[in-house]
Structures are given as C-alpha cells and as structure tokens.
Structure 1
Amino acid sequence: MKIFKIILISLIFISCSESDDNSDFYTYRFFKNKNLNIVSNDNTYIKYGEIKEGNNLVFEYQFSTQGDVDVIDDEYSEFIRFEINNSINKFNFVNEELTTNSKIVLSKSCECFFEYDPDKDILPTGNISGEKISETEWNISIDVTFYGSENRNITNKFKLKE
C-alpha cells in the first residue's frame, strides 16, 4: 500500500506543470452561400463583419489568444473577413477595390474599448489576392492596413467550413 501511495503522489507531481500552454490559435476558412454584412457603431471606429445567408463566398481569418494566465480578462481575438463573388476562381483587389469588390473588415473581440477616432475611421488599403485550388481550398494572401495603421500580412490555405 505504501508503494501505491508513493506512485500516486509521484504521478500527481509529474502531471502538474508550471507552464500553461496558452498558445495562439489561428483559423483559415471560407463559407459558401454567404454574404458579409458590415456593422458600424457610433461609439467606436472598429467595424464588425457579420456572416449572413447569401450567394457569395465569405473568407475568415481568426487569431485568438488566451493571454497571460496571471491576468484576468486579457483574452483577445481578431477576425479578418471578406466576401467575393462565388463565380470567380482567381482575384486580386487593390486599395479601393478592397471595399467595392470584397467588403474586407478587421474586427476585434476583447475586454477593451476602441473609442471613436475619426483618424482611424478610414477605408482599408493594400491588397488581397486568391486562387481557387479546389472546391474546398483557396490560396489567399492578405496585405492590408486597417484603421490607418494596423497592418496584417497573412498568406495561407483557407479551407471550406462545412
């Protein structure tokens, strides 16, 4: 019985780790038969992209982190969403085409507030491009500056969310 207790206590200490793995989480996906609705709020410069039923393709990049284990409510997520016509197989949108052809938007989710700032309430600049690999995969490249100074550079395969 004494050996059993020693083994049990040893297992408990071995299973406890001093470091929590709060690794970052990334998602690259797209949705068929959807539309992107951009929502604005008078109190903030941040825009929000809502995915609704429709007839286009909507792409979504998501970054999430749990933050520091010793800090409460520091979790953070951001989403880049954009829409393209479902009949195209290849695209490259630059500057004003980002909003006219794709409705690209960067949204954030956190226990924080982004007070309205007219200097940040501007259209995104840069480019996004993509090429269809198959019915379930696209190669997508995003190099866009949002809100005047927040650059995101992402290149990855986006997979169909079923």
Structure 2
Amino acid sequence: MIGGMPADFIVATPAARVALNRDRQRAIYGVPLSTLVHGILEDYGISQARLARTLGVSTAALSQLVRGSRIKIGDQLAQARLLILEQRRDQARALTDPAEVGEILADVARIERSWVLARMGVRDCSGCTPASLCRVASSEDLAAAADALDNAFPAIASTLRQAAGTC
C-alpha cells in the first residue's frame, strides 16, 4: 500500500496506467475492450456512438473504456448486451442488408435487466425465508457471517442469526 492505495494502482506514467488497465480488461473480458469493441464495430458496420446507444452507455464512457482509461463496464446490462453482440458477430458479418443489422442492434438494445438477472441465476427473493439460507451455508457459517456484518449491517446480521437458528 502506498498512501492508502494498492501499489499497482499508482503507476508512474499515463501509458503505464493504460497498459495496466488493458491487462485488467484482458483478465475480465479475455481481450482488451479496444479489441472487442473495434471487432464489433467492423463486423456490424456501425459507429462507436451507435454501439454506445445499443449498449445503453454514454459515448464518453465507451470511449474511455476503449482507450483504456477505464477498466470495466460497471452496468451489468450494458456488459450483457456487449457480450451478446460479440456472440452474434458471425451472424452480423454474414448480413448484407443494413436493416437486418439494425434489427439485431434494436433487439439487443431492448434487452432488459430482468432478462439479464434471470440468466445470471438472480431471482426475486420476496418469497424467501431466512431458513432458505441453510441450503447454501451451514449454521456455523451463517453465524460467522452475522458476526462479521454486525457493526456495518445489523439488520442483515440479525437475519443471518435467525437463519442460523433454523439450520
């Protein structure tokens, strides 16, 4: 730690920071976002501004990601849309009618958060009970988690303790 920051966060030059950010992008996405985005732009025959609209991010944010000024896409919905476009690149390359490409982009832009959450295994937990936590953790683990969260999140800690008592 240097001045409260991880040592790898403090980089001597802007170029070194961009290189580090691109390495982190490679770890997250498999390639730097500049490679991924430029491939999508070429295969779909669209501008970066059009891609940003499809993803639901600002053109400035997408530009920062491509330049390596930022590491990752914070919005899971935008990230999911980008990955779907990546998966459909072969289909887009085969199309000759720009209207068909426009249909793909419109379909992807219409994807909603509930669609993404359902595919990530996240669901509405309004019917969940504290006892349902016993399916994913032991009583001891739930009690330990409650102790760890007690000061910062007392309501969550209380729920975990309640669940621990039912396992």
| Band the TM-score falls in, shorter-chain normalisation | under 0.3
Relative to the length of structure 1, the TM-score reads 0.21
Work out which structure has the larger RCO, using CA pairs closer than 8 Å and 6 or more positions apart in sequence.
1
Relative to the length of structure 2, the TM-score reads 0.20
- Say which structure is richer in strand: 1
